[in-house]
Structure 1
Amino acid sequence: MSSSCPCGTGKSIDQCCGLYLSGQTYPNNAEALMRSRYSAYITGNIPYLKKTWHPDTCPELTSDDLHTNWLRLDVVRSKKGLKKSVVEFKAWFDEGDSERALHEISLFKLHKKRWVYVGPLDQWP
């Protein structure tokens, strides 16, 4: 029996983000991509993070970028578009004896017919 997916859908990882992280299929919308990227951070899947980041904004990623102890993901809202989409989320992490959240409004675009993460926006569009 597989464990629960880190992205918070309540599905098993094999029935959720594991399909994307293993390369069996690719997310067909920005929210699914954002959830799978969160799971990639949890599982340390740097190749997946690079593959799903827009080439114009993708930084160099190393295992040093994966030391955060992520606790849970809350999707606040998402806005679907034909060529670009936006997802607002809170990714909770452990900081010593307290929980903190990375709160981001993220821009995703279609690039070569696949959704990719572009970067944070200053405000909801």
Structure 2
Amino acid sequence: MSQLCHCCSGKPFAHCCGLYLSGQAYPNTAEALMRSRFSAYVTGNLPYLRKSWHPDTCPDLSADDLNTDWCRLEVVKSKQGLKKSVVEFTAWFRNGDGSGESALHEISLFKLYKKRWVYVEPLSDWP
């Protein structure tokens, strides 16, 4: 049996985010990109995170940025546009002290950059 995708889509990893993280394909929607970025954090794929981040807002990422133990993802809502899109999600991670899980809630802005969706920044509210 194949491993389910880390993004919680219910699909096998090889037929979901695995296609993007391996470079076989690139996400054609902002939600697919956001899901693949979550899987990249889970699997420690730093090159993919850099490639999928808008160059104007991408921080100087290092392996230290991958220390969080992410465990599941829920897409709350998604609004796909032609040149910019917004995805609201909650991502759960295991607390380092073993006390359970905590959640990160974010409304993320994505834009088309050189004909590819890229993550730009978190928004303070749904636009």
Q: Shorter-chain TM-score: what band? A: over 0.9
Mark the runs of 5 or more structure 1 residues left unpaired by the alignment.
Answer: none
Cα-to-partner distance string for 1:14-60 (whole Å, 9 max, x where unaligned): 00000000000100000000000000000000000000000000001
User: What is the alpha-carbon distance in structure 2 between the residues aligned to residue 42 and residue 119 of structure 1?
Assistant: 19
The unaligned stretches of length 5 or more in structure 2 are: none
The aligned residue for residue 41 of structure 2 is 41
Instruction: State the number of aligned residues.
Output: 125
TM-score by length of 1: 0.98
Question: What secondary structure, in the 3-state scheme, does the structure 2 residue paired with 1:24 have?
Answer: coil
2:123 matched to 1:110?
Answer: no
TM-score (norm 2): 0.96
Deviation digits for residues 52-86 of structure 1, max 9, x if unmatched?
Answer: 00000000111111111111000000001000000
- Identity over aligned pairs, percent: 72
For residue 34 of structure 1, what is the amino acid of its counterpart? M
Pairwise CA RMSD: 0.7
Q: Mapping of 1:54-73 within 5 angstroms?
A: 54-73=54-73
Name the stretch that deviates more: 9-18 or 93-102. Answer: 93-102
**4+ residue runs over 4 A deviation:** none
